[in-house]
Amino acid sequence: MKEILCFIVFSWVMYLPCIVPTVSAQTEAFHQVTLEKAISIALEENRDISVADEESRKAHYRIVEAASQGMPQVNGFWNAEKVLKPMVFVIQFPDSTGKLRKNRLQVGTDYTSSLGASLTQPLYVGGKVGTALQAAQTYQKFSRENLNSIKQRVVTGVVQAFYGVLLAKEIRKISYESLVQAEKHLENVRRRYDAGKATEYDLLRARVNVSNLKPGLIEAENSITLSLLNLKEVMGIAPDSPLDITGTFSEPDTTLFEQANKAVAFDNRPDLRASFLNIDLYQKNMRIARGDFLPIVTAGTTFQFAGNIDELKYNASDWTPYWVASVNLSFPIFSGLRNYSKFKQAKIDYLNAKTEYRRKRDRTEIEISESVMNLRKALEKIESQKMNAEEAEKAFGLAESLFSNGKATQLEVLDAQLARDVARNNMASALYEGKIAEIMLKNSLGIIDIDHEKGTIR
């Protein structure tokens, strides 16, 4: 019993270090995360990138696999047989009197066995080996471009989610400040009511206004929580990991308009390059399918020891060596239309790949135009909301001052407060839309430059 307890304790001591790092990694806290840091984490932890990275690594082994088809194949073999009913020959020959008689002769031994190895070297397989090797190398390039495309999409998603959190925080801030201002206004109305300078209706209206603003603050808090969960998902971190971001809205980069043309996108977008490589892949696949119509030439050699054994014991005299070399030529005559069907399918895939590439190019031009329009609209919205937010803030302060001096009504103060909150929300939304339009334009142009060390965007 003592030995069992010691073994259990020892097992937990050895196993615990394997558990603790996993738990701590899942609950790692991320404080004061900037946009650049969020991108850097996403490039390391995002699941889509991990899968694409593994696929890119797998491409290397596809090259090795393709090259192996042209290499010699060496196989060893061993077999053993037990004769259950021996073969018998019937032979006639004369006896001592000269009369022909039938004689039954048993052929072979009770046991036979062979041990050896064979080598086969493909000499010509319809050009499929070289084409398969080229296809594997093309696939490796395709995998890299696909990985870069996924990284650009992930960066775009991080930027969208990050600014989504900033927008939710800004709305929460506006909601909180509006509630604090409404509570101050309520105190002002209560003092005026106690002094007989405000009616009971004014007091009730101020209370109702405070109550109406509280659900908006709760909704803003929930919006922050949901936005952070979306950001964690894109970053690839656990949903229960504490995350706090830091950053501010800035105006979009207007120099992007100088690069906004299809030539830049065609040169930079990795998904377009991957689509073009896909055409080459299907073209090579078509050539491989065509190779099934051509002859195959192989050379080989086999060396073995053959044993004919009467008793289950080793005797060197029972074993004889055997060595043969051969050249083989095979060519298809009729395969039930299988080769023809494979070639036609490969040709259709090739034509579809060309069509898909043209579709992507056309779609890229549409995305650029759409992103440019969205960015221009966001810039115009930002410009129009700047003055509007400033004037709404001044109008509210003036209305509050006039109300305190008995020169404005409660309704005028509430209207001014509502106009100010709407203007502030519109300004925050305009800045958010501007940054989203900016990253979407960069994505459509393929100019998101990802630095693995710093996680920067240029």
In angstroms, the CA 82 to CA 287 distance is: 48
Q: Which H or E run contains 72?
A: none
Tracing tokens 């289950």 back to the chain, one arrives at: 312
Calculate the CA 33 to chain-centre distance: 23
HSE-CB for 286 with a 13 A CA cutoff: 16
Q: Strands 87-94 and 100-107, how do they pair? A: antiparallel
Query: What are the beta bridge partners of residue 82?
Result: 111
In angstroms, the CA 449 to CA 435 distance is: 17
In angstroms, the CA 344 to CA 350 distance is: 10
The CATH architecture one would assign to domain 72-123+296-330 is Single Sheet (2.20)
Contact 125, 296 (CB under 8 A): yes
DSSP string covering 390-436: HHHHHHHHHHHHHHHTTSS-HHHHHHHHHHHHHHHHHHHHHHHHHHH
Name the CATH superfamily for 31-70+125-294+336-445: Outer membrane efflux proteins (OEP) (1.20.1600.10)
Using alpha carbons only, how large is the chain's radius of gyration in Å?
A: 40
In angstroms, the CA 240 to CA 362 distance is: 42
pTM value > 0.85: no
pLDDT string in tens for the chain (458-residue length): 443 344 333 344 444 444 444 433 446 788 889 999 999 999 988 898 888 888 888 877 777 777 787 888 999 999 999 888 888 877 887 777 777 877 777 777 888 899 999 999 988 888 888 888 888 888 888 989 999 999 999 999 999 999 999 999 988 988 888 888 888 878 888 887 888 877 888 788 888 888 888 888 899 899 999 999 999 999 999 999 899 999 888 889 889 999 889 999 999 999 999 999 999 988 988 888 888 888 889 999 999 999 888 888 888 888 899 999 999 998 888 878 888 888 899 899 999 999 999 999 999 999 999 999 999 999 998 888 877 877 777 877 787 777 677 776 767 777 777 788 788 888 888 999 999 999 999 999 999 877 543 344 43
The domain ranges of the chain are 31-70+125-294+336-445, 72-123+296-330
Tracing tokens 């050895």 back to the chain, one arrives at: 14
Q: Strands 319-330 and 73-82, how do they pair? A: unpaired
In angstroms, the CA 38 to CA 234 distance is: 9
